[in-house]
Amino acid sequence: MSVAFVQSLLSLAIGFASAGLIASAYQLATARPLSFRLFGQPERTKALAAVPLLVFGAPFVILRNTIRNQSVAERRTELVAVATVVSGFWSLMSGTVVVMGLQALGVLGS
């Protein structure tokens, strides 16, 4: 395995872990699950404050909604696969940003 492949896998894992942490912390603080409905807040400041929260928590929300909808109604396999790929790519990108931030703070080595 190449070094780049291992770094990508770690970024993917860190992205999913940080998404789960953010979604769980939000649910702990508000007693409501994290949702894309936060963008529809009537107050513009609350909707804008939700952007960074959902940017990093979206992979968890996408997979949770996919799993929840899969158990309620039979979904086509293609839609589940697309949701998984989108969530994985989003997690890879947000995990890369988290790793870069930790490297900038000196927590992780280069």
Of 41, 67, 66, the residue nearest 53 (C-alpha): 41
> What pLDDT score was predicted for residue 17?
95
Q: What local confidence, expressed as pLDDT, does residue 34 receive? A: 87
Q: What is the pLDDT of residue 108?
A: 79
The burial of 68, by beta-carbon neighbours within 10 Å (0-12 exposed, 13-18 middle, 19 or more buried), is given as exposed
Please state the pTM of the whole predicted model: 0.82
Give the pLDDT score at 73: 62
Q: Where are the domains of the chain?
A: 3-104
Q: What is the mean pLDDT of residues 53-65?
A: 90
The string of pLDDT tens digits covering residues 66-91 is 888 765 566 677 888 888 899 999 99
CB atoms within 10 A of CB 76: 8
Q: How many helices (H) and strands (E) does the chain have?
A: 3, 0
Length of the chain equals: 110
User: Hey, what are 109's tokens?
Assistant: 């080595």
Please tell me which residue, 73 or 92, carries the higher pLDDT value: 92
